Structure 1
């Protein structure tokens, strides 16, 4: 059981210091959230700088681990697999080491140190419900774990890949709409065994070239180009551009567990998805049948968010809150204390639970 054992054109903009993200950085991240694999020349005019400047800026952001593009299975794949948020309680002295250990699991999409009713909050994806059961049981066998509580996700109504930095003007967003992938995705498309290699190849760098992927997989470029296009345009996988949130102005994040009457669940999720701070909204199978992951500029914004939610959904009740103390892993990226990437453990729901 090795996975669970042990502990462990225009004038170029000036380059800002390493510790900050300036307006062009934020605009570039926002643009790549809309069109993650768009050529620099396609993004140059909306952003008002030349392609070479954008290329240099992105290289600097990547090298300083302040921003990245990754790839993961689409939320629609929950239909065919299993997704859960798992609350983990542990011995106080083991908290940090346990978080680091769990972050190395390929099934763990995200790992957070949180304040609330648990010590750690995991977002876990497995290829089947039996595999999820095996994962939860394996967690319970770790000596330092004192308790777990699993919230199975029924449907993701708003995914983090849909969230935007909101650093662009209306005109810029309109111009970038041409670069954004607007193809129709099929909810019935299902991940294949061949997709796994592509997902892992794009996990660390979603802008990785077809030439590089073809060389890594030892496949013809024409074949890889066709497969990547199919993977990303069928709805089986999504690309997302993310940034070190603390350097981008988002100082606090939280997960809220809420309850609404079953007949209002879908409309409530849709209403939460319209709130600016909602990063993710999903229906879950527990006493709390609705959860929301929110990003905030300051912790006191959480109360205002709850007021907004109650105004839009009068029947909603907040049952629990997990306020993020530190991201250890977010969507496959290992993060340092300042939110910068310090490594990558690609999300792999197919990985066996030993």
Structure 2
């Protein structure tokens, strides 16, 4: 992809991104009304950000629904000098959702989304046993995701503006459980793939790409988005003022997991918090503004959460892939490797 000069960001750019973080498919008329700008101006500004790879809207299976997707974190130790090539090879795989080059006790951290544990086992066997440069791997299964990246906000809008967008983003009343989780078909999978590439793709384009009627697409999206598919607005970390990222591997007594996760979700720096089945029962992904914040944030955690023990930490040297997007050194989107969009198994297929 051609190199693109990043436009200078101003407060309107940040406000537009914050608005789409709250309501990723908000009509431009609503965005313009909330921000007090012309809708055409808001749309043009967004297109400029998207074209430069600074912000984008994407879709993924709901991480909280283990009947649809299973997630895990894989630590990779590489041979000297092989980490970059290993990370690039991992990023090319559709099941690898996030891939990070890191310092510390592991060279690469990869997050995977698969349909069941057999698929995870096959993935690790296929990718790691025969991949040049890989010395060792450690896989951790996620049993819960109390906080994930789609919930993180820029905080550029005031409370009233956020409330107006929140209200407009409320899904229609949920259908009965038996209907809402009746299983996926090829149209669901195709819509997930299209929205993964462009979460704001207009309804008419979605209908044309899937070769079904506009009414069918609208009805199917209304069924998918509240229950099985999440939309999110992501952004390039460095241009928006969060140049550093770190991953903390932590432990807390099991009876305090829920309380600890709730408190962690309130920290602005915390992007994601996963409950794991492994030697560390929490993996905390954070964004930071300065290198000194790595230990300052850890000290803050110790004061607020005395039961929490940080077992290890890694500074993210570079994020190679983020929710299916290939990123450059500044975190700008420069390509897409679609997330897995095959038809998930029927309810009850997971152990």
CA distance in 2, matches of 1:61, 1:187: 39
Match for residue 306 of structure 2 among 314, 317, 323: 314
Match for residue 301 of structure 1 among 289, 293, 299: 293
> RMSD in angstroms over aligned alpha carbons?
2.0
Contact 1:107–1:349 (CA<8 Å) still a contact in 2? no
Q: Which residue of 1 aligns with 2:191?
A: 198
CA distance in 2, matches of 1:303, 1:74: 32
Q: How far is the alpha carbon of 1:323 from its aligned partner?
A: 1.1
Q: Which residue of 2 aligns with 1:43?
A: 31
- Paired residues, number: 335
Residue 150 (str. 1) matches residue 139 (str. 2): yes
Moved more, 100-109 or 173-182: 173-182
Residue 336 (str. 1) matches residue 328 (str. 2): yes
Structure 1 unaligned segments of length 5 or more: list them.
Answer: 1-16
Q: How far is the alpha carbon of 1:173 from its aligned partner?
A: 1.8
Contact 1:46–1:175 (CA<8 Å) still a contact in 2? yes
C-alpha deviations, 1:2-51, integer Å up to 9, x for none?
A: xxxxxxxxxxxxxxx83432111111100000011010001112212110
Match for residue 319 of structure 2 among 327, 345, 352: 327
Residue 217 (str. 1) matches residue 210 (str. 2): yes
* Aligned-partner SS, 1:69: strand
Q: Which residue of 1 aligns with 2:200?
A: 207
Q: How does 1:158-307 map to 2 (within 5 A)?
A: 158-181=147-170, 189-190=180-181, 192-194=184-186, 195-233=188-226, 235-307=227-299
Q: TM-score scaled by structure 2?
A: 0.90
Relative to structure 1, is the Cα distance of residues 270 and 52 closer, same or farther in structure 2, using a 3 angstrom cutoff? Answer: same
Q: Which residue of 2 aligns with 1:66?
A: 54
Q: Which residue of 2 aligns with 1:347?
A: 339
Q: How does 1:74-89 map to 2 (within 5 A)?
A: 74-89=62-77
C-alpha deviations, 1:283-338, integer Å up to 9, x for none?
A: 10011111111111112222222223222321111011121111110001000111
Moved more, 191-200 or 237-246: 191-200
Q: How far is the alpha carbon of 1:185 from its aligned partner?
A: 6.3
Q: Which residue of 2 aligns with 1:92?
A: 80
CA distance in 1, matches of 2:57, 2:122: 31
Relative to structure 1, is the Cα distance of residues 311 and 343 closer, same or farther in structure 2, using a 3 angstrom cutoff? Answer: same
Structure 2 unaligned segments of length 5 or more: list them.
Answer: 345-351
* Aligned-partner SS, 2:32: helix
Relative to structure 1, is the Cα distance of residues 131 and 159 closer, same or farther in structure 2, using a 3 angstrom cutoff? Answer: same
Q: How far is the alpha carbon of 1:187 from its aligned partner?
A: 12
